[in-house]
Chain A
Amino acid sequence: GENVEQHPSTLSVQEGDSAVIKCTYSDSASNYFPWYKQELGKRPQLIIDIRSNVGEKKDQRIAVTLNKTAKHFSLHITETQPEDSAVYFCAAVDSSYKLIFGSGTRLLVRP
């Protein structure tokens, strides 16, 4: 089955700097890769997603890249702000449409 690995587990950046979170997946049949932001005590919220027929997608300060050959995808947050502090999860949707999550990255943006 699908396996998703995520790095780093924690990331601390200065406000205004960029943050990059990387994930790899194992199932070449996976074709949908969402990213979730989870604040303390709240449900995961979808922030951006990418499909396997696209290499990059941007939404304001957030971008995601996908390398199908290498089976890895990354989240890029530019001009980070303190409100970006949260836990971020990558995920891959397998052939049964199940979301398989990475282990999460705790992002801290220092003012």
Chain B
Amino acid sequence: SAVISQKPSRDICQRGTSLTIQCQVDSQVTMMFWYRQQPGQSLTLIATANQGSEATYESGFVIDKFPISRPNLTFSTLTVSNMSPEDSSIYLCSATKLLGDRVLSDTFGSGTRLTVV
């Protein structure tokens, strides 16, 4: 399965600023996704990062707040914009390899622990 390098691992940011999180995969993957995990909670899908086109956002998440890029099959970024303390969370990317319509593997990045003060 793929190996993902996610950066930064943690950050403390001032409210009103923005932070960009990067995920680099060691091989080409079909799909990349971004999740948020509040402390003690499950993972909530933010969006699907589409290669070469606009991301597909889940209900409750919008592009202006969480712009996403995926310029190629191995790299994606998530920006958390105009941050408030409510954005404090762990953000994770994931990568999925498909063979036809069959999932071969799902792998997660190590996560970014964001604290907004």
Contacts and interface: CB of A to CB of B under 8 A. Distances in A.
B106 A99 contact: yes
What size tier do the contact residues of chain A reach? 10 to 19
A89 B43 contact: yes
A20 interface: no
Interface in A56-111: 89, 93, 96-104
Contact of B92 (A43, A51, A93, A98): A43
A97 B110 contact: no
B109 A43 contact: yes
Contact of A99 (B1, B30, B33, B109): B33
Contacts of A34: 106
B36 to A, nearest CB: 11
B42 A103 contact: yes
Interface of A: 32, 34, 42-46, 51, 89, 93, 96-104
